[in-house]
């Protein structure tokens, strides 16, 4: 039972009542190194190209625009790849998958095994209050919570706290619950190594010798990071808690080819939660396979985020919260007045 007194189930395609032919699913879930390697090559090219813009703009006001572009290209794929490799689906070769998992987790800022096990829990009990360990904001979301999340203050605070807890062996009950006991020492080792690397970055910048790290990692991560968080927040915001149906708790949204590339097709988020064993490069085909059983995707990245912002601003002002375009759980829609907190964030 969960905190609301409702039964907790494993959330997936079966709990949602969605079906797909076994042979078709097996074909969709087939893993390969080739798409992941092609993606790494394209990502490296874009990093080099936008990094060159930063280099050319150093010393001018244009450097902030260049760092924004570079920061988006760095932040969104590093999050998306660390997520995909946490599932073990980005590459067929396990060592390659784990190497990319470790590197992108370092860029993203979270110890990889903690990320893997808490994310497994998130899939097991998607948006179940008191059980889902990856609920990044309070629900219902208001403007203050939206700003705290989008600014990066929430995720950076969470990541620093987790690294400190793991490095000092101050394992929380949640860490012990979702992680195999034998993995905890590995998580501590990784966290200590991450801390040494990050402290080294700070020391180099403070000494004056690490200015490239400031302009090509720290500042771009801060400037471009909010776009990554805008991709993340619309996955589950305004959706139904404590539902066995992925359709109720999760959102798929449209985006253009740039968004699909940066986010590794994870805009197909309902489909990903239904069948998390399907690799990123097969998600568009999976979307087509289950399209008749799932709702129409919400509008593009910007319209979806703008509609969400409109809702949370009106909620904070005590106005009506009916969204114009995006799907909402019925209890998220009110005529105005005060709103009652349903759940606290589990990632703060």
* pLDDT, one tens digit for every residue, the chain (348 residues): 444 445 678 999 999 999 999 999 999 999 999 999 999 999 999 999 999 999 999 999 999 999 999 999 999 999 999 999 999 999 999 999 999 999 999 999 999 999 999 999 999 999 999 999 999 999 999 999 999 999 999 999 999 999 999 999 999 999 999 999 999 999 999 999 999 999 999 999 999 999 999 999 999 999 999 999 999 999 999 999 999 999 999 999 999 999 999 999 999 999 999 999 999 999 999 999 999 999 999 999 999 999 999 999 999 999 999 999 999 999 999 988 778 899 999 987
89 in any annotated domain:
yes
pLDDT of residue 231: 98
Give the separation between CA 27 and CA 286, rounded to whole angstroms: 10
Give the separation between CA 102 and CA 191, rounded to whole angstroms: 11
Look up residue 45 and give its two tokens. 């090219």
- Taking a C-beta distance cutoff of 8 angstroms, is the pair 204, 196 a contact? no
Look up residue 255 and give its two tokens. 């985006």
Give the separation between CA 286 and CA 304, rounded to whole angstroms: 22
pLDDT of residue 8: 76
pLDDT of residue 6: 56
Give the separation between CA 216 and CA 234, rounded to whole angstroms: 28
The residue assigned the tokens 């990093």 is 47
Q: 33-69 burial, b for 16+ CB within 10 Å, e for fewer? A: eebbeebbeebeebbeebbeebeebeeeeebeebbbb
196 in any annotated domain:
yes
1 in any annotated domain:
no
Domain tally for the chain? 1
pLDDT of residue 142: 96
At 327 the three-state DSSP class reads coil
213 in any annotated domain:
yes
Please list the residues that pair with 253 across neighbouring strands: 298
- Taking a C-beta distance cutoff of 8 angstroms, is the pair 129, 343 a contact? yes
The conformation of residue 139, written as its DSSP 8-state character, comes to B
142 in any annotated domain:
yes
Distances in whole angstroms, Cα of residue 277 to Cα of each of 84, 140, 248, 265, 306: 10, 30, 20, 14, 31
Alpha helix segments (H runs only) across 63-171: 63-87, 94-108, 112-124, 143-150, 153-167
Task: State residue 89 phi and psi, 5-degree precision.
Answer: -110, -5
339 in any annotated domain:
no
- Taking a C-beta distance cutoff of 8 angstroms, is the pair 117, 181 a contact? no
Look up residue 236 and give its two tokens. 């589950």
At 343 the three-state DSSP class reads strand
Of 333, 3, 341, 329, the residue nearest 140 (C-alpha)? 341
pLDDT of residue 3: 45
338 in any annotated domain:
no
Q: Which domain holds residue 270?
A: 13-332
Torsion of CA 293, 298, 30, 103, to 10 degrees: -150
The residue assigned the tokens 């590339």 is 261
pLDDT of residue 9: 87
Give the separation between CA 45 and CA 249, rounded to whole angstroms: 36
292 in any annotated domain:
yes
Give the separation between CA 192 and CA 97, rounded to whole angstroms: 22
CA–chain centroid gap for 288, Å, is: 23
pLDDT of residue 2: 47
């Amino acid at each position: 039972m969960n905190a609301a007194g409702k039964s907790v189930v494993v959330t997936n395609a079966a709990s949602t009542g969605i079906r797909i032919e076994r042979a078709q699913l097996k074909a969709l879930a087939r893993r390969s190194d080739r798409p992941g390697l092609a993606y790494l090559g394209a990502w490296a090219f874009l990093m080099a190209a936008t990094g060159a813009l930063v280099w050319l703009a150093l010393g001018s006001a244009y450097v902030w625009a260049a760092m924004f572009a570079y920061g988006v290209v760095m932040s969104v794929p590093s999050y998306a790849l660390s997520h995909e490799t946490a599932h073990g689906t980005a590459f067929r070769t396990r060592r390659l998958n784990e190497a990319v998992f470790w590197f992108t987790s370092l860029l993203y800022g979270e110890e990889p095994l903690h990320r893997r096990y808490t994310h497994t829990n998130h899939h097991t009990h998607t948006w179940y209050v008191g059980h889902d360990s990856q609920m990044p904001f309070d629900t219902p979301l208001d403007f203050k919570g939206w700003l705290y999340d989008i600014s990066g203050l929430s995720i950076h605070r969470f990541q620093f706290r987790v690294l400190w807890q793991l490095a000092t062996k101050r394992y929380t009950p949640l860490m012990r619950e979702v992680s195999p006991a034998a993995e905890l020492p590995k998580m501590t080792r990784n966290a200590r190594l991450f801390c040494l690397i990050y402290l080294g970055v700070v020391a180099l910048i403070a000494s004056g010798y690490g200015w490239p790290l400031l302009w090509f990692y720290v500042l771009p991560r801060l400037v471009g990071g909010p776009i990554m968080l805008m991709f993340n927040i619309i996955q589950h915001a305004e959706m139904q808690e404590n539902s066995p149906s992925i359709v109720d708790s999760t959102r798929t949204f449209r985006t253009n080819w740039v968004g699909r590339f940066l986010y590794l097709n994870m805009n197909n988020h309902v489909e990903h939660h239904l069948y998390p064993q399907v690799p990123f490069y097969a998600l568009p085909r999976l979307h087509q396979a289950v399209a008749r059983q799932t709702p129409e995707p919400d509008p593009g990245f910007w319209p979806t985020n703008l509609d969400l912002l409109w809702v949370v601003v009106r909620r904070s002002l005590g106005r009506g919260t009916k969204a114009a375009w995006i799907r909402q759980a019925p209890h998220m829609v009110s005529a105005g007045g005060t709103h009652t907190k349903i759940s606290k964030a589990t990632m703060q």
